[in-house]
Amino acid sequence: MENTIAQKLDALLKLQEIDSSLDEILKTRGDLPEEVRDLEDEIVGFETRLGKFKSEIANLNTEIDNFKNAQKEGEKLIKKYKDQQMNVRNNREYDAITKEIELQELDMQLADKKINEARARIRLIEEDANRAESILNERNEDLKAKKNELSVITSESESEEKALSAEREKHAKKIEERLLKSYQKIRDNSLNGLAVVHVQRGACGGCFSIVPPQRQADIRERKKLIVCEHCGRILADVESVQPVHQRR
Ligand SMILES: [Zn+2]
């Protein structure tokens, strides 16, 4: 069965009353939810950075190992060359092997240099990582405190919020989808969260623009949906007929 306009307006008024109460509850949380989200984002950022530092250090350690292995191979080669040098048949062969040994020694020195560079780089990364880690610990402490604070505030209003949400669902069902959507849209665009208002002392209860007497009479009849010409809010009734709702 289709609801009458008057019934829809009543449901909208009820919805507005519930939503305003829910807004009040959210207000008690202040900036805490946003601060918690910001901290969580920041912590993810630090954890990502620490992960990068770790993998950079792991890569450098692999590099160092590779150079060390190459040096071991080099030592073996040098030893082999020196054995060969004992059995050369002439000076030319001896000189050729000496050259090979020299080249191999140069390679090993270069590897030493690279190893030292990698170690220095690791130390720098470790310093950055330590700094990041101590900030991360601070942020985690902050987050814990803020989450606790928020959960205390939230738990105080938890049962009220639940009841209001259930109540809200009940009344929302009485309103068709399209109307509910425009209600939500008006609410989202309004600073005070009011989408449905009364005419109070001849003016829109949302933006205080004057509502002409003929329009007030139409609103009083509650035969069609009338919105404020200035702010677009739904004008559910005129105050003198039904007193403006009281917030709990
Ligand atoms: Zn208005």
pLDDT digit string (tens) for 179-223? 999 999 999 999 999 999 999 999 999 999 999 999 999 999 999
Cα(170) to ligand 1 centroid in Å equals: 27
Buried b (16+ CB within 10 A) or exposed e, 166-179: ebbeebbeebeeee
What pLDDT, on the 0 to 100 scale, is given for residue 3?
Answer: 76
pLDDT value, residue 2:
64
Distance from the CA of 2 to the center of ligand 1, in angstroms? 28
Q: How far is ligand 1, taken at its centre, from the CA of residue 151, in Å?
A: 37
The burial class, CB within 10 Å (0-12 / 13-18 / 19+), for 193 is: middle
SS3 227: strand
239 Cα: distance to centroid of ligand 1 (angstroms): 14
CA dist., res. 6 & res. 49, Å (int): 59
User: 215: CA distance to ligand 1 center in Å?
Assistant: 13
Residues near ion ligand 1 (CB < 5 Å) are 204, 206-207, 228, 230-231
Q: How far is the CA of 218 from the centre of ligand 1 (A)?
A: 16
- Specify the pLDDT at position 248: 47
* Span 229-246, pLDDT tens digits: 999 999 999 986 445 555
For the segment 94-107, what is each residue's pLDDT rounded down to a tens digit? 999 999 999 999 99
Q: CA-CA distances (angstroms) from residue 120 to 60, 72, 123, 131?
A: 10, 22, 5, 17
Cα torsion through 31, 36, 37, 43, rounded to 10: 140
* Tens-digit pLDDT profile for residues 121-136: 999 999 999 999 999 9
In percent, how much of the chain has pLDDT > 70?
Answer: 96
CA 38 – CA 16 distance, rounded (Å): 30
